[in-house]
Amino acid sequence: MSSRADLHTHSTFSDGLLTPTQLIDLAYRRGVRVMALTDHDTTEGLPEALTAAAGHPDLTLIPGIEMSTDVPGSEVHILGHFIDWRDEDFQRQLVNLRESRLGRARRMVEKLAELGKPVPWERVHSLAGEGAVGRPHIARALVEAGHVATVNEAFDLYLSRNGPAYVERERLTPTEVVETLTAVGGLPTLAHPRELDHLEDLLAQLKPAGLVGMEAYYQDYSRNDVQRLRALADSCELIPLGGSDFHGMGGPQQREPGDIPLPDEPVERLLALARERGVLERT
The confidence score (pLDDT) of residue 63 equals 98
The confidence score (pLDDT) of residue 104 equals 87
Dist CA 51 CA 43 (whole Å): 14
The confidence score (pLDDT) of residue 141 equals 96
Average pLDDT, the chain: 93
- Total Cβ atoms within 10 A of residue 52: 21
The confidence score (pLDDT) of residue 72 equals 73
Dist CA 258 CA 1 (whole Å): 9
β-pair partners for 76: 69
Dist CA 169 CA 191 (whole Å): 19
For residue range 57-84, list pLDDT tens digits in order. 999 999 999 998 877 777 899 999 999 9
Dist CA 46 CA 26 (whole Å): 16
Q: Minimal CA–CA distance to 87: which of 191, 181, 162?
A: 181
Given its phi and psi angles, is residue 67 left (phi above 0), alpha (psi -120 to 50 degrees) or beta?
beta
Domains of the chain: 5-82+174-282 (3.20.20.140), 94-159 (1.10.150.650)
Q: Minimal CA–CA distance to 61: which of 35, 43, 95, 38?
A: 35
Tell me which residues of the chain have a pLDDT lower than 50: none
Edge to edge, the sheet with strand 60-71 lists 5-9, 34-37, 60-71, 74-81, 187-190, 213-218, 239-243
The confidence score (pLDDT) of residue 125 equals 87
For residue range 129-178, list pLDDT tens digits in order. 777 788 889 999 999 999 999 999 999 999 998 899 998 877 789 999 99
The confidence score (pLDDT) of residue 1 equals 62
The confidence score (pLDDT) of residue 99 equals 83
